Amino acid sequence: MSTLQPKGDAELKIQGKTVRLPLVEGSEGELGLDIARLRSETGAITLDPGYVNTGSCSSSVTYIDGERGILRYRGYAIDELAEKSSFLETSYLLIYGKLPARRELEVFVDQITRHSMIHEDMKRFFNGYPATAHPMSILSSMVCSLSSYYPDCMHNSPENRELNIYRILSKISTIAAFSYKKSIGQPFVGPLNRLGYVDNFLNMMFAVPAESYEINPKASRALEMILVLHADHEQNCSTSTVRIVGSSLANLYACVSAGICALWGPLHGGANQAVIEMLADIEREGIDVAKFVARVKDKDSNTRLMGFGHRVYKNFDPRAKILKQACDDLLGQLGIRSRQLEIAKQLEDAALKDDYFIERKLYPNVDFYSGIILRALGIPLNMFTVMFAIGRLPGWIAQWREMLSSPGLKINRPRQIYTGPNLRTYVPIEQRV
């Protein structure tokens, strides 16, 4: 594993005082300014709203070059993994830092398979939620509840850590499927050890006791690809949340539950749902795509083009390129004709040819195509973010595990610039006006 390399230092002058701060370089040439001594030596801190220019850690898990549209897991290009790797193999790669040998993968898959059931008492929890409960609220609560059933998670030995990794990777899909069944009033369908990870999830989601359910291998492969593409994405909001909570030495279930809550936000994991809602609005209102695009470009309009642009990528999202082809293939193979898909293709074509979007580098992102694929697979809208959480789980685990093994681990505690009142004197209530 590569470590940060010293690259000289930088000179900072602040209020007449000069301080020298080390420069460090990552394995892909990215420079960082180490400001660990800044406050102690100058009394000043940095102010970086949204942490857009702040590196909260060094990590060997995922590499992103937003300018060139590059995404790699542990050094492997995302397009190669999406084509050749399974979700569980990719999970192993992220968590342990290398592609598994055949026997290592067999043991890993077997462990995940054999921990898929949840405690029978936990099934009663679902009865306490109203039918209208969002699956993400159920998922976050149930994941956190796992710590009650596995108190060994409080003891951070290497053996317990690995055991709870198996448990949460396996049980999250069962909890997710059960939350969906609860929302539609159908009986739970338990996991089957003879099925692979993705097939098992699809069976728990869509099978019913009254008849057999046949898994479409094309649908299964498309869903597996979505999970692989979402497995990690560097220090995003939910991953940073997992790391921050984990820095307090909270157990894995609590950390992942916090990550799920962060992912739930519409600016993060809810973006693919927003794409489908936008397409549905265009279809329902019968709006011409050209007119819709004109509304998006109108600065006085509140119309937004969902699924385009990305905080990190200033080029085509590499995941979007893969899913675009997968989307076209899947819908063609399944024989699905969709007005929403036609609208999506027209929007994509219009945006890619329009100087307004080209100048602003607003290319289709992963959410644009993943929403269409999930809809084609029969995944309901309120489960879209849940699918994102299942996919992102191995990345959260990898980042959490890496953080715990980092030398000099400290609890995260950001600073602030205070802008409130200066010292005030308490006034008795009878004297206040």
Measure Cα distances from 210 to 96, 189, 213, 353 in Å: 42, 11, 10, 50
The reply to whether 240 falls in a domain is yes
Active-site residue, from 115, 230, 233, 310? 310
Q: What is the pLDDT of residue 321?
A: 86
Q: What is the mean pLDDT of residues 160-182?
A: 96
The reply to whether 198 falls in a domain is yes
Distance CA(384)–CA(136), nearest Å, equals: 10
Verify that 284 and 218 share a domain, yes or no. no
Q: What is the mean pLDDT of residues 111-126?
A: 95
pLDDT in tens, 408-422: 899 999 999 999 999
Q: What are phi and psi of 8, to 5 degrees?
A: 85, -155
Q: For residue 7, is pLDDT > 60?
A: yes
Verify that 256 and 299 share a domain, yes or no. no
Could you please report the per-residue DSSP string of 345-392?
HHHHHHHHH-HHHHHTT--B-HHHHHHHHHHHTT--GGGHHHHHHHHH
Active-site residue, from 199, 232, 317, 367? 367
Contacts of 80 (CB under 8 A, 6+ apart): none
Verify that 165 and 247 share a domain, yes or no. yes
Verify that 227 and 253 share a domain, yes or no. yes
44: domain CATH number? 2.20.28.60
Q: What is the mean pLDDT of the chain?
A: 92
Q: For residue 1, is pLDDT > 70?
A: no
The reply to whether 381 falls in a domain is no
Number of domains the chain is built from: 3
* 249: DSSP letter: T
Verify that 144 and 287 share a domain, yes or no. no
Verify that 221 and 334 share a domain, yes or no. no
Q: What is the pLDDT of residue 49?
A: 93
Q: What is the mean pLDDT of residues 224-239?
A: 96
Determine what percent of the chain is predicted with pLDDT higher than 70.
100
114: domain CATH number? 1.10.580.10
Nearest to 261 by CA among 278, 247, 245: 245
The reply to whether 81 falls in a domain is yes
Q: What is the CA radius of gyration of the chain?
A: 24
pLDDT band at 163 (very low <50, low <70, confident <90, very high): very high
The reply to whether 425 falls in a domain is no
- List the beta strands (DSSP E) in 69-128: 70-73, 76-77
The torsion of the CA quartet 414, 419, 424, 430, rounded to 10 degrees, works out to -100
Measure Cα distances from 241 to 42, 321, 369, 383 in Å: 29, 28, 26, 21
Verify that 142 and 174 share a domain, yes or no. yes
Verify that 163 and 194 share a domain, yes or no. yes
Distance CA(418)–CA(410), nearest Å, equals: 23
Segment holding 20, helix H or strand E: strand 17-25
Instruction: Kindly report the pTM of this predicted structure.
Output: 0.93
The reply to whether 431 falls in a domain is no
Verify that 33 and 107 share a domain, yes or no. no
Q: Is 310 a catalytic residue?
A: yes
Verify that 46 and 135 share a domain, yes or no. no
Verify that 111 and 188 share a domain, yes or no. yes
Instruction: Please check whether residue 309 is in contact with residue 361, taking contact to mean a CB–CB distance below 8 angstroms.
Output: yes
Domain that holds residue 365: 271-376
Q: What is the pLDDT of residue 328?
A: 83
Q: What is the mean pLDDT of residues 112-119?
A: 96
pLDDT in tens, 247-264: 999 999 999 999 999 999
Contacts of 423 (CB under 8 A, 6+ apart): none
Contacts of 238 (CB under 8 A, 6+ apart): 259, 260, 262, 263, 268, 269, 392, 396
Q: What tokens appear for 146 in the block?
A: 């796992």
Q: What is the pLDDT of residue 2?
A: 60
320: domain CATH number? 1.10.230.10
Verify that 326 and 215 share a domain, yes or no. no
The reply to whether 429 falls in a domain is no
* 208: DSSP letter: B
pLDDT band at 430 (very low <50, low <70, confident <90, very high): very high
Residue 76's DSSP bridge partners are 73
The reply to whether 123 falls in a domain is yes
